[in-house]
Amino acid sequence: MALSITLLCGGCGILTSPDLNPKGPIAHAERQLLFDALSVMMIVIVPVFIMAALFTWRYRGSNAKARYTPKFDFYWPLEFLVWGAPLAIIVWLGVFHLWPGTHRLDPYKPLPSDVAPLQVEVVAQDWKWLFIYPEQDIAVVNELAFPVNTPLSLKITSDTVMNSLLIPSLGGQIYAMAGMQSRLHLLADEEGEYWGRNVQYSGKGFADQQFHAIAMSRDDFDAWVAKAKQSSGALDAAAYQALAKPSSKVPVTYYSGVEPDLFDSIIAKYAHGHDRLAAEAAEAGHEPAQP
């Protein structure tokens, strides 16, 4: 009863919700897994509801007509079913959905496509997102633009506490952790402006730590890059230091150029093997950023 009221209330919202209304193949496949598993699970769930309702009604104390067998406490076939049915469902779920689904939808796995993927390096900061486009040599705060139908290859790290990057319309999340790089591959097959954000609590500016994820046509994307190129400032070491300070509700900001290997140096300054990565970074001919 309460359930149906809530579902009615929620009905309008849930139909347009990003998770159930995916805009890309990853989110679509993740939703499909959700639906598949949900339907398989109904084989156990529905009987529970029916049995609970039926037994509660039929064997109520006032119903003297119902059979009463106070010593009935075991029956092999029933017990076989009780163990067997859930087990069969779990095996089915594991073999046909969980295992293959997890392998297919590994966020580290590049997406097959004829188009070369767009590389973006993502840095979580307090409390904003920095997107570095190494190929285009631009950087943007709180806006992630990309061409539609082009795989988006994200390298993600954090220059602060642990964050988690989620763009619900496009697909699942991955943590961003200092000194480490995580990967996420996404693809939009429909133009539009979606939202993405940090979903791992990170401090007092957490609620506003969101960004626009805009899937646009190739032409629009080129125009967007050109626009960014024309912005006044470049993201050099000093500009980066200023940006990395905690701040909330930072408006979308474009940088026309980026300090070389900025992303790697952000990782290197925290890296655990420290020396190995720092040494590699030094060999590659650049200094780690100042702490």
Partner 1 sequence: MPFYSAIAASGAAVTVLGGVAVMAVVTWFRFWPSLFGEWLSSLDHKKIGIMYIIVAFIMLARGFVDAAMMRAQQAIAYNSDGYLPPSHFDQIFSSHGTIMIFFMAMPFLTGLFNLIVPQQIGARDVAFPFMNSVSLWLTSAGAGLVLISLVIGVFSTAGWTGYPPYSETQYSPDVGVDYWLWAVLVSGVGSTMGGINFLVTIVKCRAPGMHFLRMPLFTWTALITSILMIFAFPALTVVCSMLALDRTLDFHFFTNGDGGNMMNYINLFWLWGHPEVYILILPAFGVFSEVVAVFSQKRLFAYISLVLATSAIGLLSFCVWLHHFFTMGSSETVNSFFGIMTTIIAVPTGVKVFDWLLTMYRGRLIFKPPMLFTIGFLVTFVIGGLTGVLMAIPPVDYMVHNTTFLIAHFHNMIIPGVLFGFLAGYMYWFPKAFGFKLNEWWGAASFWCWIIGFYLAFMPLYVLGLMGMPRRMEHYDIAAWQPHLIVAAIGAFIIFLGIVCLGVQLAVSIRDRKQLLDLTGDPWNGRTLEWLTSSPAAPYNFAVLPKIEGIDAFWHLKEHGLAYKRPAKYEPIVLPKNSLIGLFIGGAAFAFGFAMVWYIWWLAVLSLAAIAALIVIRASDDEPDFVMPASTVQAIEDERFEQLAKAPRNEMEDEPGFVGFPAPEAAK
Partner 2 sequence: MSAVAANFTETPIPPDEARGYEEKAFGFWVYLMSDAVIFALLFATYVVMVGNTAGGPDGATLFSLTRASGETALLLTSSITFGIATVEAARGRRDMVLIWLLVTAALGLGFLFLEFGEFSSMISEGAGPQRSGFLSSFFTLVGTHGLHVSLGLFWLFVMVGQIVTKGLTAPVASRLMRLGLFWHFLDIIWVAIFSIVYLPGLL
180 lies in the binding site for partner 1 (CB under 8 A): yes
- With a CB cutoff of 8 Å and minimum separation 6, the contacts of 123 are 129, 130, 132, 156, 157, 158, 159, 176, 263, 266
Residue 283 engages partner 2 in binding (rule: CB under 8 A): no
| Closest of 88, 112, 90 to residue 99, by C-alpha | 90
Q: Which is nearer to partner 2, 90 or 278 (CB)?
A: 278
Q: With CA atoms as reference, report the closest residue to 40 among 115, 90, 6, 113.
A: 90
Question: At closest approach, how far in Å is the CB of 286 from partner 2?
Answer: 18
Alpha-carbon distance of 190 to 102, in angstroms, equals 24
The least distance separating partner 1 from the CB of residue 250, rounded to whole angstroms, comes to 15
Please name which of 156, 154, 225 lies closest in space to residue 186, comparing C-alpha atoms.
Answer: 154
Strands (E), 142-191: 143-147, 152-158, 163-167, 171-176, 182-186
162 belongs to the binding site for partner 2 (CB under 8 A): no
197 binds partner 1 (CB under 8 A): yes
Question: Total residues at the site for partner 2 (CB under 8 A)?
Answer: 5
Distance CA 203, CA 196 (A): 18
Q: Which tokens go with 51? A: 């049995």
Q: What is the CA radius of gyration of the chain?
A: 26
278 binds, among partner 2, partner 1, none (CB under 5 to 8 A by kind): partner 2
Q: Is residue 180 at the binding interface for partner 2, with CB under 8 A as the rule?
A: no
Using CB under 8 A as the binding rule, whether residue 275 contacts partner 2 is answered as: yes
- Using the rule CB under 8 A, is 272 a contact of partner 2? yes
Give the separation between CA 16 and CA 20, rounded to whole angstroms: 7
Which of 199, 145, 146 is CA-nearest to residue 172?
A: 199
**Which stretch in 116-124, 189-197, 245-253, 271-279 sits in contact with partner 2 by CB under 8 A?**
271-279
202 binding partner 1? (CB under 8 A) = yes
With b meaning 16 or more CB within 10 Å and e meaning fewer, what string describes 101-136? beeebebeeebeeeeebbebbbbbbbbbbbbbbbeb
> What would the x/- binding string for partner 2 be over residues 231 to 270, using CB under 8 A?
----------------------------------------
Rounded-to-integer distance, Cα 242 and Cα 239, Å: 5
**Which member of 111, 117, 160, 236 binds partner 1 (CB under 8 A)?**
160
Whole-number minimum distance, CB 274 to partner 2, in Å?
5
> According to CB under 8 A, which one of 164, 228, 243, 264 is a site residue for partner 1?
164
Asked if residue 143 binds partner 1 (CB under 8 A), the reply is no
x/- letters, 109..128, toward partner 2 (CB under 8 A): --------------------
How would you classify the pairing of strands 210-216 and 192-198? antiparallel
Among 115, 238, 273, 282, binds partner 2 (CB under 8 A): 273
Residue 175 interface partner, choices partner 1, partner 2, none, CB cut-off 5-8 Å depending on type = partner 1
- Pick out residues in 72-91 that bind partner 1 (CB under 8 A): 72-74, 78-79, 82-83, 85-87, 90
Q: What are phi and psi of 39, to 5 degrees?
A: -70, -40
Given partner 2, partner 1, none, residue 290, with its beta carbon under 5 to 8 Å by kind, binds none
What does the binding site for partner 2 look like in residue numbers (CB under 8 A)?
Answer: 272-275, 278
